[in-house]
Structure 1
Amino acid sequence: MDANNLLAKPWLPGVELFHADFSGQAFGRHSHDAFAIGAIVQGVGGYQCRGQRYALPAGTLSLMNPEEPHTGHAESERVIYRMLYVEESRLPTLLGRKRLPEGFRELNPADDGQVAIRLAHLADAFERSDALGLESELLGLLEQVFVRHGGLREARPACRDSGVTASLRDYLEAHYAEAVSLERLAALVQRHPRHLIEAFRRAYGVPPHTYLLQRRVREAKRKLLQGQVLADVALELGFYDQAHFNGVFRRFTGVTPGRFRTLARG
């Protein structure tokens, strides 16, 4: 049974993530008004573009420029894929560059699978993460794809800016339970999000979103040891839901919150 899902956020205009799961459906010749960055998750997809017919097995990277006409169909009984659409006009702001990328020369370039993995993380961020997590995943994916396949020059490493990174850390420490956005952090230190992420990573070894999650987990441990209810802890610390809380807590501690409390009690 076909099950297609389009994910978008009102505060993130010009960006959509399409999750497709279909069998017999075919897409006639059409184009998109955005860059398309996708990966086949399961099965074999196919399309016709630039006078050629392409078959895309699982793990294949698929790239498309705006207004490029193409078709789409399933080469196998069932196909699952993810496709990120980003309007061209949004790229200078998202990438922090004055000049746009040249565009994709190859539709299905050889790739090491990192883009497919990042698309999966982005899909999870659309559904479970706050603004900081989602924007961080998005910027990282766009930078990687357009540097590797879109003619974008690799950004120079961010210089160490102790004043900026210290201000960011202090802000995250004071607001760890709140919904923090990259836009807010960028405005706070007057830096582009891409710059502040890299500067923070160089200073503390992790990006701001990871630091924020680590801080929440540290506070969660304290609350759990005080005997607070798991659901209340998740809500107080800004987690999307109980499953999100469990996943993040286990990622940093190796155990679920419930198991942690049991072990701590001896």
Structure 2
Amino acid sequence: MDANRLQARSWLPGVELFHADFSGQPFGRHSHDAFAIGAILHGVGGYQCRGARHALPAGTLSLMNPEEPHTGHAESPRLVYRMLYVEEARLPQLLGRKRLPRGFSELNPRDDGAVAAALARLVDEFARDDALALESELLQLLELVFTRHGGLRETAAPPRDGGVTARLRDYLEAHYRESIGLEDLAGLLQRHPRHLIEAFRRAYGVPPHTYLLQRRVAEAKRRLLAGEALADLALELGFYDQAHFSATFKRFTGVTPGHYRRGGA
């Protein structure tokens, strides 16, 4: 039984995430108007491209340039993979680079797990209504893939900009309950999203979305000890749902919200 999903967000144009889980479904010869960045998770995928037949076992990446004709099929009883599509016209804005990547020369390089893990984090953020985390994970994934496989040069960390990073921190402190977008922050502070993330991490040791989650968890701890109901805290503090709240709280504290309240009582 097929369980394919194609996800997109209206506020993130030109970006789609495809989760494929199927058996027996072939894809005829076609192309995409976007860069395709995928990781094979289970089984063996296959396609015809650049005049050759390719087999992609689990642990392999699938990297394709825009308008590159190819077919697609499963070479195993079941095939599971994740594929990110990013329109070429969106790269200048997303990457904030004057010199863009040349494209992928190798179709299916082996992965050390870094790209697959970055795609998994992106899948998690697509399931939540957290623009800052989703945009941040997307940017980090694009930097990783195009630096490793697309000819994008690594850049030196920008000089510390205490004024901008301090204003960003103050904004996050004042608006930590709200849904905040990375591009919105970049517009507010007149910096490219990549520069904001790099400068903020340099100044405070973590990217902005991690700082925001830490701030929410700190407030949750205070309110839990004050006796507030668990059911009310998740949405009030900007979490997607109760499960997201509990998982994030445990990630930063090592215990669930319920255990924390019982231990502190």
TM-score in terms of structure 2 length: 0.98
Counterpart CA distance in 1 for 2:124 and 2:105 is 29
1:192 maps to which residue? 192
Q: Secondary structure at the match of 2:125?
A: helix
How many angstroms does 1:110 deviate by? 3.0
How many angstroms does 1:251 deviate by? 0.3
1:168 maps to which residue? 168
Q: Secondary structure at the match of 1:128?
A: coil
How many angstroms does 1:104 deviate by? 0.4
2:126 maps to which residue? 126
Question: Are 2:45 and 2:56, in contact at CA under 8 Å, matched by a contact in 1?
Answer: yes
Counterpart CA distance in 2 for 1:261 and 1:224 is 6
| Structure 1 runs not aligned, ≥5 long | none
2:8 maps to which residue? 8
Q: Counterpart amino acid of 2:210?
A: T
1:115-154 → structure 2 map (5 Å cutoff): 115-154=115-154
1:60-209 → structure 2 map (5 Å cutoff): 60-209=60-209
Counterpart CA distance in 1 for 2:78 and 2:176 is 42
Counterpart CA distance in 2 for 1:38 and 1:129 is 23
Q: Secondary structure at the match of 2:127?
A: helix
1:263 maps to which residue? 263
Q: Counterpart amino acid of 1:13?
A: P
Q: Counterpart amino acid of 1:74?
A: A
**For residues 104-143 of structure 1, what are the alpha-carbon distances to aligned partners after superposition, in whole Å with 9 as ceiling and x for unaligned?**
0000123311000000000110112510000000000001
How many angstroms does 1:3 deviate by? 0.9
How many angstroms does 1:99 deviate by? 3.1
Q: Counterpart amino acid of 2:88?
A: E
**For residues 79-119 of structure 1, what are the alpha-carbon distances to aligned partners after superposition, in whole Å with 9 as ceiling and x for unaligned?**
11100000000000000013331010000123311000000
Q: Counterpart amino acid of 1:151?
A: G
Q: Counterpart amino acid of 1:142?
A: L
Counterpart CA distance in 2 for 1:209 and 1:56 is 34
Counterpart CA distance in 2 for 1:81 and 1:221 is 38
Q: Secondary structure at the match of 1:179?
A: coil
Q: Secondary structure at the match of 1:98?
A: coil
Counterpart CA distance in 2 for 1:100 and 1:199 is 21
2:230 maps to which residue? 230
Moved more, 83-92 or 174-183: 174-183
Counterpart CA distance in 1 for 2:44 and 2:110 is 16
| Structure 2 runs not aligned, ≥5 long | none
Q: Counterpart amino acid of 1:55?
A: A
**For residues 231-253 of structure 1, what are the alpha-carbon distances to aligned partners after superposition, in whole Å with 9 as ceiling and x for unaligned?**
21101101000010011001000
Q: Secondary structure at the match of 2:234?
A: helix
Question: Are 2:59 and 2:110, in contact at CA under 8 Å, matched by a contact in 1?
Answer: no
**For residues 161-187 of structure 1, what are the alpha-carbon distances to aligned partners after superposition, in whole Å with 9 as ceiling and x for unaligned?**
111111111111111111111122112
State, as a whole percentage, how many aligned pairs show the same letter.
Answer: 78
Aligned length: 265
TM-score in terms of structure 1 length: 0.98
Moved more, 27-36 or 102-111: 102-111
Root mean square deviation, CA, Å:
0.9
